[in-house]
Chain A
């Protein structure tokens, strides 16, 4: 089983709909992240959380919200999806300074907004 699990892995949704991507991890890491990947633009950080009570915006947080329900769970919501949010979304975790901050990624969630 994967250490960082994302659901759903694939989703097609309509413009204006609300969609939630969920992430859970069994690595025991405090830090969790959401990235999106677009062709030619690499990976960009949407939100990150260093613990349950700490949520921070990344470089492209507009149109997104997150919830850190527990140390192991970090969900990403698109309140009103739009076509340019079509992308591959990654959840990631890291242990923090002591482990050199290696960030481990989930398998990705393909989201298509039509």
Chain B
């Protein structure tokens, strides 16, 4: 069975704090893709990153970084020096071998000024 778990339902931080959003996944596939999406209050879903199962390199994009660890089936997302504009719901997702995208429940991040 394919499953994505985002244990943190809501996180609240003060601007400029660092924050890490956790994602744990389950799959029996040897080849798979992991994704993070951002959903701001306006409602659209914005693609942030894709990582395939053969690439465990961490990635940094500006204030965003991702830590993929197959040994713990985790794909965590860190925002450094958070800003109010980072306030959103963040979804971790797993692409199954049938092409379907399976989402976690989402983590609501609130960044207070």
A residues engaging B (CB < 8 A)? 31, 33, 40-45, 48, 50, 58, 88, 90, 92, 94, 96, 100-108, 110
Contacts and interface: CB of A to CB of B under 8 A. Distances in A.
Contacts of A40: 105
B45 interface: yes
Contacts of B44: 105-108
Contacts of B95: 101, 103
Interface string B34-62: 01010000011101001010000000000
A100 B105 contact: no
B35 A102 contact: yes
B33 A108 contact: no
A9 B78 CA distance: 32
A104 B47 contact: yes
Nearest to B37: A105
B105 A41 contact: yes
A101 B47 CA distance: 12
A93 B104 CA distance: 19
B91 A43 contact: yes
A100 B103 contact: no
Contacts, number: 54
Closest 3 CB pairs of A and B: A105-B45, A43-B103, A42-B103
B35 A103 contact: yes
Interface of B: 33, 35, 37, 43-45, 47, 50, 52, 91, 95, 99-101, 103-106
Given A42-B106, A100-B33, A102-B35, A50 B99 contact: yes
B17 to A, nearest CB: 26
Contact of B99 (A31, A41, A90): A31
B71 to A, nearest CB: 22
Nearest to B105: A42
A94 B96 CA distance: 13
A94 B45 CA distance: 14
B65 to A, nearest CB: 19
